[in-house]
Structure 1
């Protein structure tokens, strides 16, 4: 049963408490105090005068100190498994120590006393921030990842900041900083203790974290990881030399220098293992820039590059894995090397540009998908143009600016019909396939269309997928050339102009001289490839038989009238 007790000033304090205990009067400690709470809640609202004594909170019960802790040199030690909450503007000047299994929650900018003291968090301990507070230049030392890997420094809610230096001091553990919600802003330097060993630093959680101070490592490498669905913004001129791994969420930077140069991503060399995508997004918000960094996309994962406005050029390449790549953002991402990833490459927004020897020969490519706007694949300055290799597919609803060679498959649209545009010459080579889906009579919304501005050469096969039964004489302009450039060659399985072929289970008459651009699109008079739905042979014969029978009946009637 909970009780409420009032304790007067004391010369020493070592109570063992349970239930709910409220102390409204001032506590004056004559000796070092150990408060052991086996359960329930201890609330202290009347102030604590430490008299240069240490205060240790142990046990499994929760302790909330709403008033001021004032002591010149005494320490605050959290050693229990219960939550210690500090909401007062404390003035103690010594160390705050959080042991393994212990948690301190602070809800006041000065809850940890003056900045003359430091805060140490053992491996398995945690410091929680909430209440929109701004902690001053107090030094913080982390030895681990918190309780159950939830963060040694953890933003619970609200927009909170820490201005002091953060030191990583465990060579065998991961140092984790988490934000559950809201934004945690770190303005001080993050560094490792002066030892020649590597340190692991992970940022995680569903909330946001902004690091304005530099992340530095002078005695060993620092390995940085971004986990959780939240946003991590790195603004400092970072000098750490270890790898960067993006697992989830968004890592946002404004500078990506060459390998070895300091910047938001540190100064690691340009080897592919120093920038690893295990999922997640790399967002670039800076000015037009270039980097020689190579990168790795882990097998089965997708690297997302979100280039918000300007142009970011990678002269480096992706490593040879089954991972995929997605381009987002209104800006331009340029590759100057031959990327080796084999997963799908998708341009959702903005421009993905290939220059020089830049290549995506080992991957399926989608230019624009559902919800995309203005997605462009640009290979106008790429040596040899854009090549879609055997067994690979180019699809989507965006635009390709390139001389394009199709050795594999070209398939406008995505899961449904759409228009794919190629600005430049296109060559559908022997063995290639052009796929079109017909679900109705409207180009782009109900049936697929490939638009070409440039000459077009056809040698491959035509593949039609029917999603409905068309009306007789319906026209489908599936391959539309501009009004001036030549359309040469034919599809191998629809080779003779004006002939009828069965495609996708439907009879079509084909024309290589259709005119989609006319005021009224027509089967002849231009240089577009068009399909016209015609009756099945049995239907045609039935109609012919009905016509003959009708003529015979009319003739019989005439003879009868003559008689």
Structure 2
């Protein structure tokens, strides 16, 4: 029980005075205090003649305070001394001592928040701390009874307990340093807190109730016992050798660290909790007497370590919860089991004898010998790993169970091949880590996934890998079949698979996986199940590959093993996924999907059949010496290459109809008597038809086959392309041309050719020719003879197309049999050249005679007429010059070819050049279309177009001068400012003229640079013109007169321009470079403005023309003076407002363009160009506007107007051939009579004397679009 403190209504303080007289040292005597009376508050002590004090009364007060400089006091309590305030406060440097000597009599008590301060207390009676009282930093020796009650604390005291010390309720030992040689008990929920406790001698330290060792540091030299529900908390406990620490009842070691050098016992329902247990050599930690907190034989410890002994009894001990990595080198014994949890590693190195087995549920258990796992029992992996170190332990014969969380083996040493001989069972996954090798030899039936994260997982027997397991092999790791056949659920990862001579079957779980590693060995691979197995590594295994189910897909080029024979079962798929692959061979009845990839098969030289379908846009290549037979309905559209051996058809239509086939030298394409269709055929190998027919050409490409086609079957040419046969073929079936061109430059002498909708050509030999309506025979390759070992027949609507030249050479058909002509037309394609007035050509000979006639003959020549003569054994063509003229020269009804004005003039001149002139000879052998195109090129039209270029240049120069004269419409510093005026309209008075300030200077230097691009459309006679002009004009002017209202300015300017122009349709281009000199003047009166000038431009036009007609070609060049004289004037009237002005204006410009003569150099088509003058003019009506933008000296200006042209608006030139005498006039497209002109610009008045500006201008007419950019600078002074 506790005693309530005795207090008065008002606490009284007093100071000790005492005396050496009898009774002068008694604390309970009031006269020994000043003021008189025993204090109820604080008793103060200073210096006194009485320092040995006693207390015989029942004294209750707040506390004793020893002042600074106080004497050394010794206070002996012979009754009751109770502190309820601050307790003992020692402000002196002296040691103040208290004795509580007599058991049953002396009671010294600290209540409420009182402290023992730093007093030295010797207790032989009762020493109590209550409430929140503290022992402070006192030094206490207890030889009787000491109690800490309520929430009191031992503070930082030094306590030597020799008899009985108790902590009740929520009291704690604080940070005290306690030596216990008696009995010390922590009751209720009390705690050892952060104290340091040492049990010595016969000392007994107990924790009862729900007390805790807290964070204390405890050294046990005798007995330490935890009872009831107490806990070791987070204490650090050291149990000395030969001593005992016991956990009884339901107590727990909590999170303590217990270093056991003696005996550590867990009894009844006690457990190690999450404590760190270190049992050193000679120490024993015994769990055998506890049945665990749930009475089920399951105990725990955060971790175990050390060289001492652990006794499990029949219990299951779970360790590792604190995630520490520890080493147990001692012996773990008992019939119980060990469970490892947490993330740390438990290393077992002792010869353990526990027999209940080991479960690794977290982290790792590391061993180097089998005995480390105890005398027997299974190994269960349920979230943890068994680590094997060193190379001594090479085999594990225990049963291994993989729990739902799975587990693994970490074979740390690269030199260790560690074998698990018993089956692995359970639902969990298996992982393999470490640099060493894990060998599985049992018939493993676990169903979880398998991960090879490092080192090697090796099979020790057939079927050692679980057939239900999904296997992942990480990069750098290896799965080794060691030559044993294995089945797994699936395969993924990027490591290595070594088959040896074994076969790996994967995919039975139906999942889709990707393996990016390499599979090597002489063994094979089987893909089973419904999923997709993707190979993306570089695989080099040489055994067979069987796709028994689902899809085997390539994930990279070359991922499929080039040394493997592939079999794709019915319903299964081999998918190249668009990636090129090579395999040893292909067989089966499944599907092959190429995507855009190429499959190369046959390199192993074996003969196989594939009856499945190959599809995709990719290609197929047959390599090697064997025969590859296709029996399915293949639809792939990429190329087929027979590079070696034989590609054979096993059914009608087995060859992909959309594939272009190439048969290499020495290779064979074998139809085996089945009709086949291919997109095209090329190469130099052999085609064996058997009795089948090969159709080729459907893709419209042009190919050549120089090999041999043999058999009794036939050949059909389809499509729009050209198929050339240059080899000697012996097939005897029919040849049919259903489209495109068949060129026979070799021999198909045993096959008659039927020409339906296509063309037969070439210089080889055919077995016969039948040309149906719509068919064409065109012998030769250019000019040549087609030989026929048989008969020739032309049906109505057929065509015999032949080429001839001026030398008398022409195409011919030379037949050994009969030529039957039932109609048809002969089409003559004549080459360019100088043809005689009449030239004859033998176009057909038939040793068996000629029967019938061709129905007609036509020619591509406009000026030569063909005729046919049918003889007994031949047909002869004669070409005779007709009366069709080049142009309209001579009048009358004679037909002519030229259709435009320019064509007509030059055609007349060309025809008069006569036979022997290259231009004439070329034109006379041309078609009408070729002749007209030739007339356009010969005309020299670009000479006329040069006039339009000069006119365009003159506009830019003229606008530069007028722009300078015009100046600004608004009155600003340095500008041309007209006078202002005001009008009194109501009184009808005239305007009052007010001269503006004189803001500009007398002299001005200015310059304008410009660039322009113009396009003029053709007019049906002349072609389009494109012009690009660049240049600059600079000038200087001065004011001759300025009255304020009127002024006069004169100036001079000069410039340079260069224009590059093209007449693309006439293969002509030119350059005009000109210099310009101008004088100008401008007058102002009020708002009226009149500006004008005269300019002269002197330039040279360099022209290059190309003439290309059939085989004729000239490049012609000329130089020609081009001068322009122009005069211009502009009148305007300005309306000015505060920051805005408008000006209507009228402008006129008169031009005379003088073009000098020129003689072209460069060939027979060269022209002579006469000099001439052309006069024209332009008027423009328009409106200008100008506005100042805000307060800045920045001005926007614009113009819009209508320009009208008059005079010689159609540029022309008078030409004639240098080699002839007939003149020819040529015209360019007319310069627009009406055009919209517009301009927009900005001027910035940099200073009073300087203005810079930029502007865009355009002239848009019916044919011409002329755009220009201009930059201007004016400097006044």
In structure 2, the partner of 1:402 is: 647
SS across alignment from 2:1163: helix
**Residues 553, 577 of structure 2: 8 Å contact kept:** no
2:408 to 150, 153, 166: 153
After TM superposition, list the pairs within 5 Å mapping 1:170-249 onto structure 2: 170=426, 173=427, 175-180=428-433, 182=435, 184-192=437-445, 200=447, 202-207=449-454, 208-215=456-463, 223-229=468-474, 231-235=478-482, 244-247=489-492
Secondary structure of the corresponding residue to residue 227 of structure 1: strand
Q: Which residues of 2 match residues 61-140 of structure 1 at below 5 A?
A: 61-78=322-339, 80-86=341-347, 88=349, 90-92=351-353, 94-98=355-359, 101-106=361-366, 108-110=368-370, 112-113=372-373, 116-122=376-382, 125-129=383-387, 131=389, 134-140=393-399
The structural deviation recorded for 1:379 is 8.6
CA–CA separation in structure 2 for the residues paired with 1:361 and 1:396? 17
> Which of 383, 389, 412 is the equivalent residue of 2:634?
389
User: CA-to-partner distance for each residue in 1:33-58, whole Å, 9 max, x for gaps?
Assistant: 94432xxxx57343545476756234
User: Post-superposition shift, 1:296?
Assistant: 0.7
1:295 Cα shift?
Answer: 0.6
2: distance between equivalents of 1:168 and 1:451? 60
> 8 Å contact 1:380–1:401 — kept in the other structure?
yes
Classify 1:317/1:281 alpha carbon distance in 2 versus 1 (closer, same or farther; 3 Å): farther
Q: Is the Cα–Cα contact under 8 Å of residues 115 and 137 in structure 1 kept in the other structure?
A: no
**1:494 partnered with 2:695:** no
Structure-2 residue corresponding to 1:30? 286
CA distance, structure 2, for counterparts of residue 80 and residue 360 of structure 1: 55
Q: Aligned residue for 1:340?
A: 591
Contact 2:551 2:575 in 1 (8 A): yes
Q: CA, structure 1 residues 235+277, in 2 after alignment: closer, same or farther (shift >3 Å)?
A: farther
Q: CA 1:35–1:69 in structure 2 vs 1: closer, same or farther (change >3 Å)?
A: farther
SS of residue paired to 1:139 = coil
CA distance in 2, matches of 1:396, 1:115: 69
2:421 to 146, 156, 165: 165
C-alpha displacement of 1:61: 1.6
- RCO higher in 1 or 2 (8 Å CA, sep ≥ 6)? 1
Structure 1 residue 211 displacement after superposition: 1.1
Deviation, structure 1 residue 28: 2.1
Partners in 2 of 1:305 and 1:395 — Cα distance?
Answer: 21
TM-score, scaled to structure 2: 0.29
Match of 1:547, SS state, is strand
Contact 1:76-1:96 within 8 A present in 2 as well:
yes
Q: 1:166 to 1:50 in 2, by over 3 A?
A: same
Distance 1:558 1:285 in 2: 81
Q: Would you say the 8 A contact 1:84–1:105 is kept in 2?
A: yes
Query: Computing the radius of gyration over CA atoms, which structure comes out larger, 1 or 2?
Result: 2
In structure 1, what is the equivalent of residue 697 of structure 2?
460
Alpha-carbon distance change, 429 to 339 in structure 1, aligned in 2, over 3 angstroms: same
Q: Cα deviations across residues 303-330 of structure 1 (Å, max 9, x unaligned)?
A: 9996686x7575x715245855999999
1:336-389 per-residue CA deviation (whole Å, 9 max, x = no partner) reads x32235465865798377745423523349679xxxxxx965594344x58782
Determine which structure has the larger strand proportion and give its number: 2
1:240-264 Cα distance to aligned partner (Å, 9 max, x none) = 9x87544556473624599xxxxxx
SS, match of residue 185 in structure 1: strand
Task: Select which of 278, 293, 297 maps to 2:533.
Answer: 278
Change (3 A) 1:248 1:164: closer
- Pair 1:90–1:347, CA change in 2 (3 A): farther
User: Equivalent residue for 1:196?
Assistant: none
1:433-452 maps to which residues of 2 (within 5 A)? 452=684
Cα deviation digits, residues 138-194 of structure 1 (max 9, x gap): 313224453xxxx52244765454423343444xx3x422235645422431344xx
In the alignment of these two chains, the number of paired residues is 449
Matching of residues 411-560 of structure 1 within 5 Å: 423-425=667-669, 432=679, 452-455=684-687, 459-461=696-698, 481=706, 492-495=719-722, 547=1114, 550-552=1162-1164
Task: Determine the C-alpha separation between the residues in 1 that align with 2:700 and 2:551.
Answer: 34
Distance 1:153 1:31, change over 3 A: same
What is aligned with 1:445?
none
Task: Note if contact 1:363-1:392 (Cα within 8 Å) is conserved in structure 2.
Answer: yes
- Does the residue aligned with 1:319 lie in a helix, a strand or coil? coil
User: In 2 relative to 1, CA 281–36 (structure 1 residues): closer, same or farther, beyond 3 Å?
Assistant: same
- C-alpha distance in 1 between matches for 2:492 and 2:570: 16
Flag the 1:453–1:411 CA change in 2: closer, same or farther, 3 A: closer
> Does the 8 Å contact 1:349/1:376 carry over to 2?
yes
Equivalent residue, structure 2, for 1:531: none
Q: Aligned partners of 1:181 and 1:411: how far apart in 2?
A: 53
Residue-by-residue CA offset, 1:252-280 (whole Å, 9 max, x unaligned): 3624599xxxxxxxxxxxx9956975335
Q: Point out where structure 1 has 5 or more consecutive residues left out of the alignment.
A: 193-198, 259-270, 369-374, 413-418, 435-449, 465-476, 499-508, 515-523, 527-536
Determine the C-alpha separation between the residues in 1 that align with 2:379 and 2:631: 58
Q: Could you tell me whether the CA contact under 8 Å between 1:299 and 1:323 is conserved in 2? A: yes
Match of 1:362 in 2: 614
Q: Within 1, Cα distance between the matches of 2:580 and 2:695?
A: 32
**Alignment partner, residue 441 of structure 1:** none
- Other structure's SS at 2:380 match: strand
Deviations 1:42-82 (A, max 9, x none): 57343545476756234632243324242454444225334
1 CA distance for matches of 2:352 and 2:643? 62
> 2:261 touches 2:281 (CA, 8 Å); kept in 1?
yes
Distance 1:83 1:257, change over 3 A: closer
Deviation at 1:8, TM superposition (A): 1.6
Q: Retained in 2: the 8 A contact 1:327–1:348?
A: no
- Matching of residue 9 in structure 1 with residue 254 in structure 2: no
